[in-house]
Amino acid sequence: MVPLLFSGCEIDNYDEADGIITGTVMDVTTGEGLVTEQPNGFLIYCREDSWTASEEKRGQDFWGKADGTFRNTRIFKGSYSVYPKDGPFHTADIDTIPVEIRSGKEAKVDFEVTPYCSFSEVIIQQSSTNSAAIVVSFKVTTNVLLGSDGDTISHATIQNWRLFASNRTQFVGANVFDTDVSSMQDENLTAAQADGSVTITKTFTGFKAGKTYYLRIGARCKESPQSRYNMTRVVSLSF
């Protein structure tokens, strides 16, 4: 008789990661959601605090969206410390927010951040003299983070700007753009242009009749993680 061999099966007793966290990273200079690159403009980090010495401490991060919102539906239940990171914004003034994640429930948390630089008086329009061209004009200002005593906590050093344009997708940006109608290289700024006191104006050509283009301007600061851009909202133009 052949002996029967039995092997034990370990049962996975871990709860499913079905907690939900949503929210918005708000731009304090506009009072609206932070406009960033698409994809991968910033990260939300969730560090689990509800653990014991006998358990492995868990944490995870996930990408936010281009309009500043974020959502993750696969978080383990527990107590977390949550904060945004790795985006084109100052981090010295960001408070970590405690969040309780419950199974099958949604927790909402919002943050306010100061972007490294901000745009104003942005105009992206078709040229009145050349049907294949557009004219962009804007001002850009670097944002300094000040403490309650007026001392500088964190500063930004703007390096350059670019126009990103594409007729292939509305998700135009640093990762998706058409080289024939976008900036061929980074556009440098003078000191006056970098502090928002001078309007920047430039003409771009090569746009084709019968096509719709999606366009936005990005400016990059030296301090930005992975050289991420602060962005304007996307504008569409039909030729």
What's CA 143's distance to the chain center, in Å? 17
Q: What is the pLDDT of residue 7?
A: 46
Give start-end residues of each CATH 2.60.40.2060 domain in the chain.
Answer: 117-238
Q: Is the dihedral of CA 63, 68, 74, 78 positive or negative?
A: positive
Reported CATH class of domain 117-238 = mainly beta
Q: What is the pLDDT of residue 192?
A: 85
Q: What is the pLDDT of residue 167?
A: 97
Q: What is the pLDDT of residue 2?
A: 45
Secondary structure (DSSP) of 80-116? EEEEEESSSB--TTPPPEEEEE-TT-EEE--EEE-BS
Q: What is the pLDDT of residue 60?
A: 84
The CATH code belonging to domain 19-113 is 2.60.40.1120
pLDDT tens digits, the chain, 239 residues: what are they?
444 444 455 545 556 888 999 999 999 999 999 999 888 899 999 988 876 555 555 678 999 999 999 999 999 889 999 999 999 999 998 999 999 999 999 999 999 999 999 999 999 999 999 999 999 999 999 998 887 777 888 889 999 999 999 999 999 999 899 999 999 889 998 888 988 889 999 999 999 999 999 999 999 999 999 999 999 999 999 99
Q: What is the pLDDT of residue 51?
A: 66
Q: How far apart are CA 93 and CA 118, in angstroms?
A: 17
Give start-end residues of each CATH 2.60.40.1120 domain in the chain.
Answer: 19-113
Q: What is the pLDDT of residue 6?
A: 43
